């Protein structure tokens, strides 16, 4: 299953984006805040789009009826970063999908290399960190730093962490539509 058009991506956010998942803000509000932070930092369109769409895998899980609980009742890691990036890959260029695929590893990376970072995580991010493997080992850090999009993923992760403000004012999903359309055309997809 993959996104066939920007229309399909927008429709998914319009239909399921009000779900709070594991935070105090909705998925849509979280994505819009992340994108606004990226844009304010002067990020290129591809990274703004990655910030907007980084948690689309959670919406895909909701749409497909996936459950976050394992057979033993414990929360499972559904690897939303992988499912979201894979779903978007036929539509959007790697400059969008690669940071999305790495944003969870970027959290684990930052927990390993930045002593104060873990203290900045929301309750939801602390809970998911345990499911995602905890801080990286020194060997994992070295391998992560060798990945082409690791720096962009780290930037995305910092916006992700800051984008959990109740009632924050952001541009709308319609505002980012043109950016997504341009990137889809560049990536060989359809708007």
Predicted structure pTM score: 0.89
- Please report the pLDDT score of residue 78 as a whole number: 57
Q: Using CA atoms, how far apart are residues 167 and 8, in angstroms rounded to an integer? A: 26
CA atoms within 13 A on the CB side of 126: 7
Residue 69, phi then psi, degrees to nearest 5: -105, 135
Q: Using CA atoms, how far apart are residues 125 and 25, in angstroms rounded to an integer? A: 13
Residue with tokens 């992760």: 157
- Please report the pLDDT score of residue 190 as a whole number: 65
In the chain, where the domains are located: 6-186
Q: Using CA atoms, how far apart are residues 186 and 191, in angstroms rounded to an integer? A: 11
Q: Give CB contacts under 8 A, 24+ apart, made by 96-99.
A: 96/46, 96/47, 96/49, 96/50, 96/53, 96/183, 96/187, 97/50, 98/148, 98/149, 98/152, 98/153, 99/47, 99/50, 99/54, 99/149, 99/152, 99/153, 99/155, 99/156
Q: Residue 189's closest CA among 93, 84, 95?
A: 93
Q: Residue 85's closest CA among 3, 7, 11?
A: 3
- Please report the pLDDT score of residue 130 as a whole number: 85
Which numeric CATH code is attached to 6-186? 1.10.3210.10
Beta-carbon contacts of 24 under 8 Å, excluding residues fewer than 6 positions away, are: 122, 164, 166
Quick check: 9 and 56 in contact, CB under 8 A?
yes
Task: Show pLDDT as tens, one digit a residue, over the chain (191 residues).
Answer: 789 999 999 999 999 999 886 678 999 999 999 999 999 999 999 999 999 999 999 899 888 844 443 333 334 445 888 999 999 999 999 999 999 999 999 999 999 999 899 999 888 888 888 888 999 999 999 999 999 999 999 999 999 999 999 999 999 999 999 999 999 987 666 66
Three-point CA angle 135, 137, 142, nearest 5°: 115
If one counts every other C-beta atom within 10 angstroms of the C-beta of residue 133, the result is 14
- Please report the pLDDT score of residue 22 as a whole number: 64
């Amino acid at each position: 299953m993959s996104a066939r058009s920007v229309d399909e991506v927008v429709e998914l956010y319009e239909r399921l984006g009000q779900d709070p998942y594991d935070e105090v803000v909705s998925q849509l509000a979280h994505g819009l805040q992340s994108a606004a932070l990226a844009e304010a930092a002067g990020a290129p369109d591809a990274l703004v789009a990655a910030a907007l769409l980084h948690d689309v895998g959670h919406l895909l899980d909701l749409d497909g009826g996936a459950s976050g609980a394992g057979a033993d009742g414990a929360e499972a890691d559904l690897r939303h970063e992988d499912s979201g990036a894979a779903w978007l890959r036929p539509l959007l260029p790697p400059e969008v999908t690669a940071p999305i695929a790495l944003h969870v590893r970027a959290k684990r990376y930052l927990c390993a290399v930045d002593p104060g970072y873990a203290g900045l995580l929301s309750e939801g991010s602390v809970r998911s960190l345990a499911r995602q493997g905890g801080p990286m080992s020194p060997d994992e850090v070295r391998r992560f730093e060798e990945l082409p999009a690791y720096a962009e993923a780290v930037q995305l992760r910092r916006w992700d962490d800051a984008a959990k403000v109740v009632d924050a004012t952001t541009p709308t999903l319609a505002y980012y539509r043109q950016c997504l359309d341009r990137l889809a055309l560049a990536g060989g997809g359809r708007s």
